[in-house]
Structure 1
Amino acid sequence: MNKYSVKCLLCGEVHDPYSLNCKKGDDSFLRAYYTAKQLMPTDMPGIWRYYNWLPTEGIIEEGSGRTVTYKSENLASALGLDDLWIAFNGYWPEKNAYIMTCTFKDLESFPTMQRLREQGDKRIIVVASAGNTARAFAHACSVTGQPLLLVVPKDSAHRLWTLHDDNHSVCLVTVEGDYFDAISLAGKLASREGFVNEGGAKNVARRDGMGTVMLDAVLTSNELPAHYFQAVGSGTGGISAWEASMRLLEDGRFGDTLPKLQLGQNLPCAPLYSLWNDVDAVDAACPEGMYDDVLFNRKPPFAIKGGVKDALEATGGILYAVNNKEASEAQELFERSEGIDINPAAAVAVASLVQAVKAGNVKSTEKIVLNITGGGQKRLMQDYELKQLPVSLTVSAKDEDAEAKVVTKAAELFGALL
């Protein structure tokens, strides 16, 4: 019996398990459906604790961490909440948290890399990122040796650090432009012979990997929460939490109501907030002026079948717009209360929770899960030396020859593959 199948949400047709798109051309996500209807955690390391609900047929034993969920006391008290659970994704050895890139994007990269290994695909994987995803894939590829071409905005290059001494499998290209420019260039490169696209939000491995945040939170607290808070750029993390929640509902042991998605975006660049609330919350200079520009995606998967709009509608969700002052104050509040540093994007989630409490969108007695999507980098630096990934090439988004220049550089580094 197969572990899982992959189906189109529009036509319902079963596809090859490694497909990214409906072969009929439907504007829809594919979704993984698992044979195991109840969540049975394993004793495997890291994210593979949730192996039965991950779309892989094996594991990468080295390098992966997982979410660690705990019940908050100090932040909960500061906000007047009785049942606040923090899903922490990062490095915090005192809590047995060992995501060594300090970002929950690790939860996407390892299942994605495992699926490439299953297919025997030795092509160069192309990843576009504003920083955190790139760091996660660099970590996974340094473990597996899979050749990786990272395409990131030039202003995000400072986020590309690693703990590995050997990063010869990674080619880092920076683009003089924004995240969408990086995505556009990466898409062109991935269509060429010798390269492969990792799939982004359409990759079921990435979504179900992120969905393990909800799995960990529910297994730890023994119940589906009433509310789930997260900061989002593309919104894929929110979609992942929704999909995981539906599986947990079907499990039957954790409740009968979907958690309300409460998602935060960072002003002045909040396209999802704009689309959902039919307002203009995107400045022409975006992503300039953001508290954390990893939260900006010019073209998020909003209206696609199974996308952000469907997730918000299904859960009665809310989208918040958080300004930089609110984010800064929320970061200070969390770090003072909980005793660990967090990434700026996670601070936007905390600020969204603060807004929700003030607006009466949550009750003090309701179970709440707060996804801290990244944290512990300062704590990590106490124990390890961070090594900046070297930039292999910088190109302009306006350069018509940018694609050719990147291919030439990749050929220098990975010549045997091209």
Structure 2
Amino acid sequence: MPLPISERGRQMPASPFRKLAPFAEQAKRQGKKVYHLNIGQPDIATPPSLFEAVRQADIPVLAYSHGAGTDSYRQKLAAYYHRAGIEVSTEEILVTTAGSEAILFALLTCLNPGDELLVPEPFYGTYTAFAIAAGVSIVTVTATIDTGFALPPLADFEAVITPRTRAILLCNPSNPTGHVYTRAELEGLLGICQRHGLYLLSDEAYREYCYDGAKATSALNLPGGDEYVVVLDTISKRYSACGARVGSLVTRNKTVWQAAFHFAQMRISPPGLGMLLGEAAVELPESYFDENRAEYQARRDLTVRRLRAMLGVRCLVPGGAFYVMPHLPVDDAERFGEWLLREFSYDNQTLMLSPAAGFYQTPGLGRQQVRLAYVLNLKDLDAAMTVLEQALLAYPGRVEEPVAAEAAELAGA
């Protein structure tokens, strides 16, 4: 008889953007070309200067660093935030093993087991796993495609606050919807935090990637937010360096920082070579972001244009990040995603997407939505859209009307 695993082990979900990976591997073994629109892994080259910094480093021993990160990297991060219009000191920056560890440290620091975390849905699917690991419950307030996935009314947040509520978590710009929260929306959330004594946890991984002239507001720049705001950050998407695994937790709340630092000491130090990459990244000129932003905007425009031309597809124009969350005329997005990989091909090509149910907490929502990451070059992205267009026409489970739960969501219920 097998030994039992922990309750959190039983609850831990599969990754919503890797769930279909076994079918993708099978499709590749069959000789099909698979376009990966399921995960935010850009194909833009990591800047060569990042690798050169590691090659040139004179490191006789790759030793532990300070638990909060090296002084040199934290100083350069402070300079980066200054250029981004965010004033923080090195003592307010904790270097983490990617943004993932920053999220986990924030939950472990700001919430107790059994506490509740308010999150607008749809949300970055891995938040569920972090909440389970920390022993906290996610309580959602639902945004809808009809309102552009904008922040739900503040009254909806107020309505679900209980004595166990301890924090609000959001991603700005949003993964998975691409919505860029306005300063007014963020100030409204901070007001709730101030009235109820809650933390505002702001995941700002996509800060630089806003389009059509829009700018993301950092929660650290909200007046009166110093004791409430904890920013979670990473170099992964900013510099197309997902494998470096270097992020940061930034807060002006000294008590929060100190407690998070104690968790950081538990894992000794963040990645040494990753911090060298991070130092070199901070030295890149602003033109680096200008060029990448223009490229991502072109990819966004192509993706939205192609999706809107497909019969039965409903698609918004995302304002930031590099994701779009369309409504598809299918009976079930997960079934459709599996069918794409197991049974369908167009010119011996298919694609992998992320069914949107994994980005919702409320059962039944997202059943006809998918998250697509427009992280491929324009030629491959266009080809992938053609595959999707043909697949939607051929799919045996195609439906012209929303299923019940999806219909309620589209109606704003």
Under a length normalisation based on structure 2, what TM-score does the superposition of the two structures give? 0.31
Structure with the larger strand share: 1
Choose 1 or 2 for highest CA Rg. Answer: 2
Under a length normalisation based on structure 1, what TM-score does the superposition of the two structures give? 0.31
User: With CA pairs under 8 Å and 6+ residues apart, which has the higher RCO, 1 or 2?
Assistant: 2
